[in-house]
Structure 1
Amino acid sequence: MDIIFLGGLKIETIIGIYDWERETKQTIVLDIEMGFDIEKAAETDDIQYALDYKTVSKRIIDFVENSQFLLVEKLAVEIVEIIQNEFNVPWVKLMLNKKGAISGASDVGIIIERGERKR
């Protein structure tokens, strides 16, 4: 399986359980790996057979900017479900970084992986 990735995708959203987090947008940073067979796209040089990462990123940005979740776990699962269901991606690995959420730590977040990664 081939991997298409989006790295360092920064999005502003309402995320968190504290009152101030419910009123102030925070930046999350996404790193996404998507398993996808690129053979036909490479053979034909035709975008219709590729996973259009621009379309994927626009969809994820729109979703995250217009959502309000309490937990990063819920947001991460929702993002992966969109990628798998709307873009027919069998395997996804997502790292969601809520930078600065913990005093003294530059990075904090969650990594989830869904689907079967075929070699």
Structure 2
Amino acid sequence: MDKIHIEGLEVLSLIGVYDWEREYQQRLIVDVVLHVDLSKAANTDDVSFTLNYALVAQGLSEFASRSEYKLIEAFASNMVDWLLITFPALKKVQLKLSKPDILPKAKNVAVEFSREQIR
């Protein structure tokens, strides 16, 4: 299956379990692999036959800015579901959500989800 990768997309979201985490939006990093048939776009060089990854990135940023999840697990899982619903051409989504600024002695904490479109 063909894939589109969006890597290192910075988004802001209110997220966290503790009161001090919920005082302001935090920086999160989204890495997503979008499994989609790109053969027609590749054969025709016509943008109308591909997935508009700029819209995907914008949608992810808007999803994050409106979210108020406590756990990155819930956030990432719902983000994957949103992608599959919003972009029905997707066959599968793999998403890694990183919370890089949370542990002082660690570069990053992340969760990863992978789901296929149900037809």
TM over 0.5: yes
AA aligned opposite 1:92: V
How far does residue 3 in structure 1 lie from its aligned partner after superposition? 0.8
Aligned position for 1:84 = 84
Deviations 1:19-65 (A, max 9, x none): 01111211000100010110011112112210110011111111111
Deviations 1:68-113 (A, max 9, x none): 1101011101111121111121211111000021231011010111
Gaps of 5+ in 1: none
Q: Structure 1: how far apart are the matches of 2:86 and 2:101?
A: 31
Gaps of 5+ in 2: none
TM-score normalised by structure 1 residue count: 0.92
AA aligned opposite 2:51: L
Q: Structure 2: how far apart are the matches of 1:40 and 1:5?
A: 18
AA aligned opposite 2:20: W
Count of matched residue pairs: 116
Alignment RMSD:
1.1
Q: Structure 1: how far apart are the matches of 2:78 and 2:113?
A: 11
TM-score normalised by structure 2 residue count: 0.92
Q: Percent same amino acid at aligned positions?
A: 34
- Runs of 4+ aligned residues of structure 1 deviating over 4 Å after TM superposition are none
AA aligned opposite 2:5: F
